[in-house]
Every structure is written in structure tokens, then in C-alpha cells.
Structure 1
Amino acid sequence: MPTVTSAGLLLYRGHGEALEVLLGHMGGPFWARKDAAAWSVPKGEHGPDETPLDAARREFAEEIGLPAPDGEAVELGAVRQSRKTVTAFALDGSGFTGADAVEHRPDDGSWVEMEWPPRSGRTVRFPEIDKAQWFDLPTAREKIVKGQLPLLDRLESLVAG
């Protein structure tokens, strides 16, 4: 099975012990009752005709429902997450206040369709991210999916830098 390429934005604010990151809780029935290791950098797939940074900004807007803040994004590199390679970019989100306003419209690109329950023949739509929240770094380390954990370490080094 081929590797899927994804890209995402890791918004941060503050520094040192006050460093916080914005993560999205993954939507759908599998994640509904999970909290630990159930949050992600807002991200999504892209093809060869789109740069990872352009895809990261597009996916942020789709999944969060608001455009990413302006500013220079710094590449944090890539991580493997299951069959995906995720390239992430750090972006100062100090002025971003939209985390509490994640809103999904039925016609936007932030929904996925899947058969649920499995083998039921019933197709249901779920938001890719059902909520977003700021977390301090120790809490974020508990919340983020394990494959993305190195991104937090890289961000911490970048901000301390």
C-alpha cells in the first residue's frame, strides 16, 4: 500500500513553561470517547501539484473552519504516522482566537464519509476534527497521537532556540 503524504500547521503561542499548542480532536465514532492520544495537528493529504505548506494552510482552514494566521511558518520536518508521512510547520498563533469556534458546515471539506457501524451498509458523515483546543506542552504530549509526538519536541527546541 503506498505512503500517503499529509501536511499540517502546528500553531503555538508563548514560550518556555508557558508554551501552548493548538490541537484538534479527531472526529468520528472511533475517537468519540477517547482523549489521550486522540488529538492531532490539523493536517490533510496533498498531491504532487501542491506544496506541503500550501496544503497545510488549506487543511487548517478546512478543519478548523478559519484561515490560519498570517506569519512565517517554519518546517518541523516529517514524521511517520501509520501509512502517512506528515510534514508539519510551526506557526506563531499568538493572535489566533478561533480555537473555540471550530464550526463544521455540511458543504465544507472537513467531513469524511464512512460505513458505520462496520459492515452495516450505512454511510455516515463525520467531521475530521470535532473540536480544537490550546494545550500546554506537558498536556499536549498526553493528548497528541503518538506518531506526532516528535513534532512537539522539535517545536520546543525551535522556540527555545
Structure 2
Amino acid sequence: MSITQDILATYRRPKSVAVRRQANGPREDRALAILMAACIVIFVAQWPRLSREAHLSETDIMPLIGGALMGWVFMAPLFFYAIAFVTQLVLKGFGGTTGYRARMALFWALLAGSPVILFQGLVAGFIGPGLLNNLVSLIWLVAFFVFWIAGLSVARNKAD
């Protein structure tokens, strides 16, 4: 299946998509590509909010976009690799999994949540802070954790 079809299928059957995604064996290039795609989508999702902030404060948007680019595309991948490493260490105490499977569970959860994070960016940009923004952010957080836990359960059950 294509990435977009897998993202949509993750909202219906997160475990079966995780099984299919992790069945191909360790492919670190694929894991990195999924992580970078997720970080780029999250970066793009920040644009409406940054545009709103720049307009309301009457400042230039480019430094805000440059900071978001630095944070999401260059720094966040390192942070997510660290989280995946800690997750792998914790899972080793409960029966174990490979580092690749722990990374894929986290990275796929980030990418699969991209439609909601894009919508949250639009809400933050057009409506601004408030109840609706908080609600959409909570929906993204719940979806992310559901997808991550589904991926981790598959990773734990299929430890090599």
C-alpha cells in the first residue's frame, strides 16, 4: 500500500498496519524517511500559526519560519531517536524488542497523526488559541499515543 493509504488505514486498524510496516525487516533508510516526512509535515503545519503570530505582532515571518525549520527538521529527529532508544530500553525489561521496531512504532505514529496535526495547525492559524485548538491538539495527542502503543505492542510481540 502507499503511505497515504496506510495512514488512512491506521485510523481504522492501527495494529494491522503496524504489522505490515514492520514485516519488511529492518530498513533504517525507510525509518529515517518516515521520521523526516513526519517532521516536515509538522513543520508545514506550523505555518498558519506562525503567520498569525507574525501578523498580530507586526513582525517578519521569516525568522519564525527559520526557527521552526531548525527545530522540526534538524533538531526534532534527534529528539525522536532518543525517545525511541529509551523506549527500546524500557521494552527490553518487559520482554524485549529490536531497536528498529521501537523506532518504527514511534516514527509511524508521528506520520500517521499528520492529518490531525495539519488540521490543528489550521485551527491555530485561523481561529487562534482557545477551546477548539486545545480540543484538536488533544485529539492529535490521543491518536498519536494509540498509534504508538499499537506499534509497540506489535514490536514487543515480534521481537527478533
Say yes or no: TM over 0.5. no
Please state which structure has a larger fraction of its residues in helix.
Answer: 2
Larger-Rg structure: 2
TM-score, normalised to structure 1, is: 0.30
TM-score, normalised to structure 2, is: 0.30
